[in-house]
Amino acid sequence: MTRKDRVLTALAHRQPDRVPIDFGSTAVTGMHVRAVAGLRRHYGLADRPVKVIEPYQMLGEIDEELARIIGVDVAGVCPRNTLFGFPNENWREWQTPFGQVVLVPEGFRTTVDTNRDVLIYPQGDTTAPPSGRMPAAGYFFDTIVRQPPIDEDKLDPRDNLEEFAPISDADVAYLAAETRRAAATGRAVMATFGGTAFGDIALVPAPFLKRPRGIRDIAEWYMSTVIRRDYVHAIFERQCEIALDNLVRIHAAVGDLVDVVFICGTDFGTQTSAFCSVDTLRELYTPHYKRINDWIHGHTNWRTFKHSCGAVEVFLDSFIECGFDVLNPVQCSATGMEPDHLKATYGDRLTFWGGGVDTQHVLPFRTPAEVREQVLRRCEIFAPGGGFIFDAIHNVQANVPVENLAALIDAVHEFNGAR
């Protein structure tokens, strides 16, 4: 099979010739720049600065050399602007607080405060309040919440819609060009177009806006889903209308070159429980998810991808009813997310994109032999009958031993070679 065929076969819940692999196609399936650099050294590739393609989490580009070694079957398409609102262009070197020299975009502008924390600025504008902080001993940025005082009598849903607008001709052209580039690799194409994430807590504080209005504090937003539900409904309804109009234009430009589209990264699970009830999901989120997914399934060949960390087993039937085809990151260590149960109960209706290794406990802290053992076991559970794209559980973090990463890659190849 070609790489693309392999992914499409798995998505159709048929057995591919081997387990498809994804690392790097989205902001939730990538690797930290330190991990990327470590793998490049491990495999004897040229020692050069790694591009930071997603600065919020400091994710590194997995270029063609490394992608071929890993066996990556998916190519990603991302919006022109990063989470901090500047485009990935005009690269330059920057030395991180952890000592690594990387390549960052021109708009990646920072200062250092009195605690030696690195501050980053929305749209690269250092005259605006900073919107992200990398602690002196940290490896990625945390959002700086810039919540203006809330006047209940003056709350206006339009303030929380500032970032949602008709897509520009320039952005359509950019996405079309990036889609053609990704398709030319011969891999399946995973596209993140933006605008379809309802209440994603990484986006609510709007680190890409200079002076965001509305409800932008994370705790305040969660409370608003209960005490200001009409306000949230109004935001989601208008956001959905804009998103559908934008999808019409994007589809006209990219057509069937896209195979999977990242719809939403809103997390509904904690390690042991959930952020809301199933009833709340169905009342507040489901109508909008369903409109988006129904349009996509009715007008395109795209499969739809839902990211949600945590103990989300209680929501999986609802996700399926919403029309989602893919679940990521498949956090098997969370309560109720045992791999055997997920595969047996939902494996004919959801494709599991992730779940290949525990990135909280096993990958960073166990031995290479233990990593190998878990990877092989997860493949044995998830692979039969298709419906599985191998990836770690969320992004590979900064200080994972390179020996463990190599053991992960070797184990997937070992499993595929035994088929």
How far apart, in Å, are the Cα atoms of 23 and each of 103, 309, 313?
A: 19, 17, 24
Alpha carbon distance 365, 404 (integer Å): 9
Structural domain that includes position 196: 3-31+63-84+146-417
Helix locations, 198-334, DSSP H: 218-227, 229-254, 278-280, 286-299, 316-322
CATH code of the domain containing 259: 3.20.20.210
Whether residue 157 is contained in a domain is answered as: yes
Q: Is 134 within 8 Å of 33 (Cβ atoms)?
A: no
Alpha carbon distance 278, 322 (integer Å): 13
Whether residue 274 is contained in a domain is answered as: yes
Residue 47, pLDDT score? 92
Whether residue 312 is contained in a domain is answered as: yes
Tokens 């498949």 appear where? Answer: 330
pLDDT in tens, 39-95: 999 999 999 999 999 999 999 999 999 999 999 999 999 999 999 999 999 999 999
Residue 418, pLDDT score? 64
Whether residue 97 is contained in a domain is answered as: no
Q: With CA atoms as reference, report the closest residue to 284 among 326, 345, 226.
A: 226
Q: Is 42 within 8 Å of 406 (Cβ atoms)?
A: yes
Report CA dihedral (65, 377, 350, 281) to the nearest 10 degrees: -100
Q: Is 176 within 8 Å of 255 (Cβ atoms)?
A: no
Q: What does the radius of gyration of the chain's CA atoms come to, in whole angstroms?
A: 21
Tokens standing for residue 416: 């595929």
355 sits in the region (left: phi over 0; alpha: psi -120 to 50; else beta) called left
Alpha carbon distance 140, 75 (integer Å): 24
Whether residue 91 is contained in a domain is answered as: no
pLDDT in tens, 199-223: 999 999 999 999 999 999 999 999 9
Can you tell me whether residue 3 is helix, strand or coil?
Answer: helix
Whether residue 122 is contained in a domain is answered as: no
How far apart, in Å, are the Cα atoms of 252 and each of 172, 181, 246?
A: 9, 17, 10
Residue 419, pLDDT score? 52
Report the number of distinct structural domains present in the chain.
1
Tokens 């489901």 appear where? Answer: 286
Whether residue 44 is contained in a domain is answered as: no
Collect all residues with Cβ–Cβ distance below 8 Å to 352 and sequence separation of at least 6: 326, 327, 328, 330, 342, 343, 382, 387, 388, 389
End-to-end CA distance of the chain: 14
Can you tell me whether residue 396 is helix, strand or coil?
Answer: strand
* H or E stretch at 414: helix 402-417
Whether residue 252 is contained in a domain is answered as: yes
Q: Collect the ranges in the chain with pLDDT lower than 70.
A: 418-419
pTM for this one? Answer: 0.97
**Strand partners for 112:** 118
